[in-house]
Amino acid sequence: VSTQLTIHLAISEQDILRFERIASPSMPTNIPSSVRLWNGVEMPRLGLGTHKASGPELLQAVQLAVKVGYRHIDTASIYKNEAEIASALKVAGAPERVFVTTKVSPYQQGYDQATKAVMRSMENLGTDCVDCVLIHWPGVARTPGVSEMNASKRAETWKALEDLYKAGKCRAIGVSNYSIAHLQGLIQNCTVRPMVNQVELHPRLSQHELRQACKEMNVAVVAYSPLGTGLLVDNPTVIRISEKLGRTPAQVLLRWGLQKDICVIPKSITKERIVGNSQVFDFEIEESDMAELDELEDDHHFCWNAAHVL
């Protein structure tokens, strides 16, 4: 993708001023815009997910997100869009101001493969140091969940990330889709503890026990699919609370996550949703409404569940 590609963004000065207002230090809520990882690195709490996004739509989405104040972009080697994201950030003039997370795929598990994968991601992203690298899945691709190979390969992969972190190639390292058991196994044998665990998380899958375990392990939790792959915006409880607050259902769902002390990375490629999803720092959901949202819990996965991976 040419870095000379320019996409004209239909965004008004009013949109920009609105974001600057809600992101200012004087905003009434007490949720900071970033979380400090245990190693001192600041990771923005709100990010843009890019799963299945590519081409001009992705370039426009990333540039718009940066323009309205997003400072975290989430990608992965398996998304095959790292180079496009790098191009979009360069056009936006923001490569150094945006925190980028990428991931080692299940097809890249093992010390040598993971090392090569991260180096390839660095090349795609046009950097010699990635902000955050995660192990995308606790298992090996096309391997039964009960296979002992999963544990041995993810241990090798983590060793690769540790060495890359120690060499200054990553500012932070972590995991994705890890259960409590996966985290415990990693921490018992690592030399560098994970800083992040990115999992599916929303009111129907609040991951309470996992969040508590991560808190005790000092691991930051990042929610992917915080809108339940977009399906929860039609939930009657979410709609009722959004109407009460004068907010969109998506904003209510994202704010619910922020008030649970997690980071959220909603995916969108449309202007209205990208701008709207950024406006979640200037209001608060009261306890009774948070409790109603909590009652939606039914342990429902819209995406993937790694519980079967040993």
Q: Which of the residues are catalytic? A: 79
**64 in Cβ contact with 274 (< 8 Å):** yes
φ, ψ (nearest 5 deg) of residue 211: -60, -40
User: Angle formed by the axes of helices 149-166 and 180-189, to 10°?
Assistant: 60
Q: Which of helix, strand or coil describes residue 123?
A: helix
Q: How far apart are CA 25 and CA 23, in angstroms?
A: 7
Q: How far apart are CA 191 and CA 262, in angstroms?
A: 25
HEC sequence for 160-195: HHHHHHHCCCEEEEEEECCCHHHHHHHHHHCCCCCC
Q: How far apart are CA 199 and CA 180, in angstroms?
A: 12
Q: How far apart are CA 103 and CA 138, in angstroms?
A: 12
Q: Of 53, 62, 65, 58, nearest to 15 (Cα)?
A: 65
Cβ neighbours around 48 below 10 Å, total: 27
